[in-house]
Chains A and B, each alone.
Chain A
Amino acid sequence: MNVKALLLLIWLPFAATAQGFAGLGTQIDGFSVPQPEPQFDFPADHGAHPDYRIEWWYLTANLTAADGTPYGLQWTLFRSALAPEEGAGWSAPQLWMGHAAVTTQDNHYVAERLARGGIGQAGVVADPFEAWIDDWVLEGDWNTLRMTASAPDFAYEMNLTAEGPLVFHGQDGYSVKSAAGQASYYYSQPFFAIEGVLQLPDGDIAVTGNAWLDREWSSQPLADNQTGWDWFSLSFDDGAKLMGFRLQQTDGNNFTSATWIAPDGSTTPYEDGALVATPLALNDDDVPVRWRVELPQKGVDVTVAAINEDAWMTTSVPYWEGPVTVSGSHGGTGYLEMTGYE
């Protein structure tokens, strides 16, 4: 069985039909659709929402070793539903995909896992919280979390401690993605302190840093004419944070959105057009790895540059994801994700 072809069909119908990255633009009957003014219910909403088509638990971290060397880390669990229902056994329609990565200045280690939800090989339980695929685990009470991933060439085990509140994007967690009204539920915990050990081919490295966990679910968050996105999560030296994304459209225009996060966790959402992100330089594969990011309302005009330009995720659904440095009006670090550049 050609897994790649299978995945392309599940996740990636966009190539031929320009229906958005990872099938996110496709409309499938029967799934629930995000509604404005959401009422979240925790811890239940930390768990899976099988009646929505796609969902993720997405953690990125900027890490530093004792000698000051920067590292990036990713742990992601995707859920994709073939039908808006749960079930037991192999025929259950919930499919899971895990991505893990460690980025150094010279290398980018990537691993992927795939599993079906009905047999217990992967899943997310809200209380006590545990998200897992195979031996990869993210578990705890959201004040503290334990996280592991392992691959033939790398592994890590990390502990996370929340140092601030949950943050809700858009209108209280209802994040609009297009002028036509496509939207997702989207909240984050950007205030994790993280420490642990990276096992790399050259040896073990103890690291510390800060991590950002995104939670998002929807059934059709992209409009038909949107083919990918550029997503920024920036942590400034003064404690403030900025989440911003730019959705690429086939008409040549972009749709942008941003959330300004004050050091105390209070948020200011910005609608389309407030955030301006401009590519400055491409890497060898024509992926923009230097950006100018502006949010004039907050006096932000920074250059975002990849620590390792070659942070391409060689997974079934390929994309670019890696740690960045921030300079200009604000200094800091962050993560950059770019899709739709294949």
Chain B
Amino acid sequence: MTRATLQALLSHWWRNPMQLFTLLAGLALATALWSGVQAVNAEARASYDAAAATLGEGQYDRLVQRDGQPMPQATYVALRRAGWLVSPVVQGRLDGVRLIGVDPLTAPGGIGPVSLGQDGDVGAFLTGEGQLFANAETAARLGDFDIIINPDVAPGTALTDIGVAQRLLGKADQIDSLIVLPAQPKTQVALSDVAQDLTRQPAQGGSDIGRLTDSFHLNLTAFGLLSFAVGIFIVNGAIGLAFEQRRPVIRTLRALGLPMRRLILLIGAELMIFALIAGLIGVALGYLIAALLLPDVAATLRGLYGADVSGTLQLRPVWWLSGLAIAIGGTCLAASGALCQLAKMPLLAAAQPRALAMAAGKRAKVQGVLAFLLLMSSGVLMFTADGLIGGFSLLATLLIGAALALPLILDRVLAASSKAAQSVTMQWFWADTRQQLPGLSLALTALLLAMAANVGVSTMVSSFRLTFVDFLDQRLASELYVRTEDQTQSDALIGFATGRVDAILPIQNADTDILGQPTEVFGARDHATYRDFWVFLQSTQNPWDTTFDGTTAVINEQLARRSQLTLGDAITLQGREFAVAGIYGDYGNPIGQAVISEQAFAALYPGISPENYGLRMPAEDVPAFVAALEAATGIPATQTINQSGIKSISLAIFERTFTVTTALNVLTLAVAGFAILMSLLTLATMRVPQLAPAWAMGMTRRQIGRLELLRAVLLALLTGLVALPLGLALAWALLAVVNVAAFGWELPMYLFPADYARLGLFALIAAALAALWPARRLARTPPADLLKVFSNER
């Protein structure tokens, strides 16, 4: 019996291959989108981890020679013998690969991801010709070496023994830097007594750029979630349709005496098999998507983070397993409702062709109430949500509420249009569109979510870009930044620069505490630079005037938020009170910041003298100035930062971010378009009885086909009108709630009407393309088929 039942169930697909294709393709596409985004994320994160682990980059203090040159190896041995626990590093470029030489015997534990496995030959690593560790991609770029392939080595990097690195890089008896181990012995000779030329560079914990990268990742994650939502709707739609279409089969099987339990089990098993197949196809497709996207993501993150992300993809279990889980979980979710209905269905419930529409009508009320409640709660959350969970709840209620509300909104709009219709044809058109709505609503919901995700994410990314560029202008207002090591250098710099540059802006800071928040206090010199470039989130009329007078201070957003300070509130520094005159955005900074006047700073912190200087001058004079500075004062170029270089790198990064975003946008839209195509195809056959009367009354098949096309475009347009506010609400939630919760700062939101218009156009084209084929099929329905409708009329 089981076999016969299975045969009967499967024969449905045999006779309707298009429906099988819909089901599998829907599932596969949803899985692909989800797993593609996840793959990109997982790959980027894994690459960070590898980069961070290779040499614990930034985790440890380092000793380097002041002049930036390598130090003699003897200095290393002298330091070790003086009780300094330091580990030598040599690095350089070999065939375009970053070659790092370490001493495994002295390096801090866990440095580098490479472990010599059971097959490792210690002798070969430490002595002899030497071994290199690199990932497969890097290994291919290196020449004829003994390379051990290890995927955990950071991309573009090869790790080897220090002796081998010295030989390959031509740095015999030279060391580039020394890692300072965190725990140093009790007895130790002072650094200056052993190696006067060395200076200690502190570890770079939680760098600004790292924070911004986190933000970018959050964006990608949000995109992943949205595409997941789109995917679930498509899966749900595909399975719902499959059930509707098989009602007659099920009725017959039940009538023949098949127990309900076994029927449900068999259908469940059948669906799981489909989910597995579709999931596998989806994961493969996702891999393809990720492989295409990854080079751009890699480039983005390389610029943003300064660390290499591999441009090649590895099959990480994390994402292909999650992809399969999504396919199966989504199927279960979608099927559970349908199976439930099936269980409750009266034994001989007729297989009505309009079952879908009838059921939808009954559900509409419940759906409306649910949508209303969800949207209401999202409205409340907009004002109250202040944590990550609140933020994501807001996103979820918004998305689900809007998805549930869409069919009802469209229904109302169509009903109103129908009343306003002038001609009979148009009245029929509106009514017929309304009648079709339940069958199309899932596809339209998918389109809604795809468009909203598009609007939301592109608004967020573009706002991020604009803000960040402003921020760079503000923070890197000076054309050149110079770091000095001591008072002598400072004096030499000021002496040399005076008269040669437009302005010298000393930057001095002290670490303190304001209302329990760790804060850096800066002393700023009165100059137009601040007035011209600094953008405030909130400020009094002339914040800089009062600040340079010494009566007020301006603080960053982080400090304001955490200490709940607003304009006019007082902060206390060294017992002196300053009123808050302005609050500025300080993107990526983990701690508080306050700026007071140079004079006030000197009075409060007499022991601190500036070690950083911003120099204003025409941008084109910078290189010549740097060279002249080194010649005249000995301050090397390594102590200077040319601002325009930083800016152009940052901007290039954003261009890449856009490439990624655009590609993901196109993909989501394509998936939604596919959903529309499949829904229309399915409906096309069922609609012949409804079209036959229109044809019989004199409408040509061509006219009917044209109206079909128009209907799809119209529905897409209406959906787009709903998607726009939804997308903006999503963007707002991401920028103002989720970002604040995650990083402590709010990104201002900008609007990009041209982008939205282009997106709307794409959506219309997608809908039109999706409707083209079904419309053609309807237009070419043989008149005989249309006539049959009347002879078969029940």
Residue numbers of A with Cβ under 8 A of B are 1-6, 9-10, 82-83, 89-93, 95, 111, 114-116, 119-121, 132, 134-135, 148, 150-155, 199
Q: How far is the CA of A151 from the CA of B185 in the complex (A)?
A: 4
Q: B127 near A2 (CB under 8 angstroms)?
A: no
Inter-subunit contact B116/A9 (CB<8 Å): yes
Asked if A152 contacts B107 (CB within 8 A), the reply is no
Contact in complex: B186, A6 (CB < 8 Å): no
Is residue B386 contacting chain A, with contact meaning CB distance below 8 A? no
* B631 in contact (CB, < 8 A): no
With beta carbons under 8 angstroms apart, the residue of B83, B122, B164 that contacts A6 is B122
Given contacts A10-B122, A135-B80, contact A93 B127 (CB under 8 A): yes
Whether, in the assembled complex, B698 has its beta carbon less than 8 Å from a beta carbon of chain A, the answer is: no
Q: Report which of A3, A82, A89, A95 forms a contact with B109, defined as CB distance below 8 A.
A: A3
Select from chain B the residue with minimum beta-carbon distance to A116: B105
What are 21 A-B contacts with C-beta separation under 8 Å? A3-B107, A3-B109, A6-B104, A9-B116, A9-B122, A82-B126, A82-B127, A83-B123, A90-B103, A93-B126, A93-B127, A95-B126, A114-B106, A119-B77, A120-B77, A121-B77, A134-B80, A134-B85, A135-B81, A150-B186, A154-B186
Which residue of chain B has the shortest Cβ distance to A96 in the bound complex?
A: B105
The chain A residue sitting closest to B187, CB to CB, is: A150
CB distance from B90 to the nearest CB of A (A): 10
Taking CB atoms, residues of chain B closer than 8 Å to A151 are: 185-186
User: A132 contacts B106, CB within 8 Å?
Assistant: no
A266 CB to closest chain B CB (Å) equals 40
- A249 to B467, alpha carbons, bound, how many Å? 72
Give residues 97-113 of B contacting A (CB, 8 Å).
102-107, 109-112
| CB of B162 closer than 8 Å to a CB of A | yes
**A135-B126 in contact (CB<8A):** no
In the bound complex, CA of A155 to CA of B185 (Å): 8
- Which chain B positions have C-beta within 8 A of A83? 123, 127
**Other-chain residue from A115, A152, A153 in contact with B105 (beta carbon distance below 8 A):** A115
Partner of B115 from A1, A115, A148 at Cβ < 8 Å:
A1
Closest 8 CB pairs of A and B: A90-B163, A2-B115, A1-B104, A150-B185, A114-B105, A135-B83, A152-B183, A155-B186
Q: A132-B81, A134-B83 are in contact. Are A5 and B166 (CB under 8 A)?
A: no
Q: How far is the CB of B718 from chain A (nearest CB, A)?
A: 61
User: Smallest CB-CB separation from B123: which chain A residue?
Assistant: A82
A151 to B187, CA, bound (A): 8
Indicate if B159 sits at the interface (CB-CB under 8 A): yes
Per-residue CB proximity of B155-186 to A under 8 Å, as 1/0? 00001011110100000000000000001111
Q: Could you tell me the distance in whole angstroms from the C-beta of A78 to the nearest C-beta in chain B?
A: 13
Question: CA of A199 to CA of B161 in the docked complex: distance in angstroms?
Answer: 35
For the complex with contacts A92-B127, A95-B126, A135-B83, 20 further pairs of A-B residues with Cβ separation under 8 Å are A1-B112, A2-B110, A2-B114, A3-B105, A5-B116, A5-B117, A6-B105, A83-B127, A90-B126, A91-B163, A115-B80, A116-B103, A116-B126, A119-B76, A134-B81, A135-B80, A135-B81, A135-B82, A151-B185, A153-B186
List CB contacts (< 8 Å) of B288-333 with chain A: none
Evaluate whether A91 and B128 lie within 8 angstroms (CB atoms) in the complex, with A1-B159, A3-B104, A121-B80 already known: yes
Q: Judge whether B120 is part of the interface by a CB distance below 8 angstroms.
A: yes
Interface residue B188 (Cβ < 8 Å from any Cβ of A) = yes
Q: Are A93 and B109 in contact (CB under 8 A)?
A: no
Is B11 interfacial (CB-CB < 8 Å)? no
- Knowing A90-B166, A151-B185, A199-B186, the reply to whether A82 touches B81 (Cβ < 8 A) is no
Whose C-beta in chain B lies nearest to the C-beta of A111?
Answer: B185
- Is B659 in the interface zone, CB < 8 Å from A? no
- CB pair A115 B106 closer than 8 Å: yes
Judge whether B73 is part of the interface by a CB distance below 8 angstroms: yes
How distant is the Cα of A328 from the Cα of B127 in the complex, in angstroms? 52
Contact with A along B491-529 (1 / 0, CB 8 A): 000000000000000000000000000000000000000
How far in angstroms is the closest Cβ of chain A from B190? 13
Which residue of A10, A89, A135 contacts B185 across the interface (Cβ within 8 Å)?
A135
Q: How far is the CB of A116 from chain B (nearest CB, A)?
A: 6
Contact B123–A93 (Cβ < 8 Å): yes
Q: Establish whether residues B114 and A1, one from each chain, have CB atoms under 8 Å apart when the complex forms.
A: yes
Contacts known (A82-B126, A199-B186); A95 close to B77, Cβ less than 8 A: no
Give, as a whole number of angstroms, the nearest-CB distance from B286 to chain A: 33
Query: CA–CA, A103 to B204, complex, Å?
Result: 37
Q: Are B104 and A155 in contact (CB under 8 A)?
A: no
Do A155 and B115 touch across chains, with their CB atoms under 8 A apart? no
Note all chain B residues with C-beta closer than 8 A to A116. 103, 105, 126
- Choose one: A2, A91, A119, A148; the contact of B116 (CB below 8 Å): A2
Nearest-CB distance from A236 to chain B (Å)?
35
Smallest CB gap from A148: residue in B: B187
Which residue of chain B lies nearest to A97 when distances are taken between CB atoms in the complex? B105
A121 touching B187 in the complex, CB below 8 Å, given contacts A2-B116, A91-B128, A114-B105: no
Cα A270 to Cα B73 with chains together (Å): 50
In the bound assembly, the distance between CA atoms of A4 and B122 in angstroms comes to 12
B34 CB, nearest partner CB in chain A, Å: 35
Q: Which B60-108 residues have C-beta < 8 A from chain A? A: 73, 76-77, 80-83, 85, 102-107
- What is the CA–CA distance of A3 and B108 in the complex, to the nearest angstrom? 9
Q: Please, what's the 1-or-0 string for B208-251, where 1 marks a CB less than 8 Å from any CB in chain A?
A: 00000000000000000000000000000000000000000000
B73 and A5 within 8 A (CB): no
Binary flags per residue of B541-585, CB closer than 8 Å to A gives 1, else 0: 000000000000000000000000000000000000000000000
| Residue contact A199 to B115, C-beta cutoff 8 Å | no
Residues of A within 8 A of B183 (CB): 152
Residues B81 and A95 in contact, CB atoms below 8 Å apart: no
| B791 smallest CB distance to A (angstroms) | 81
When distances are taken between beta carbons in the complex, the residues of chain A under 8 Å from B77 are: 119-121
Q: Which residue of B lies closest to A137 (CB)?
A: B81
How distant is the Cα of A151 from the Cα of B83 in the complex, in angstroms? 9
> Does A121 lie within 8 Å of B83, measured CB to CB?
no
B residues near A120, Cβ cutoff 8 Å? 77
- Among B82, B126, B164, chain A packs the most CB atoms within 10 A around the CB of B126
Nearest chain B CB to A90 CB, angstrom units: 3
In Å, the complex CA distance between A155 and B183 comes to: 14
Distance of B426 from chain A, by nearest CB (Å)? 76
Instruction: Using CB atoms, name the residue of chain A closest to B102.
Output: A1
Q: Give the contacts of B256-272 with A (CB-CB under 8 A).
A: none
Residues of A within 8 A of B105 (CB): 3, 6, 95, 114-116
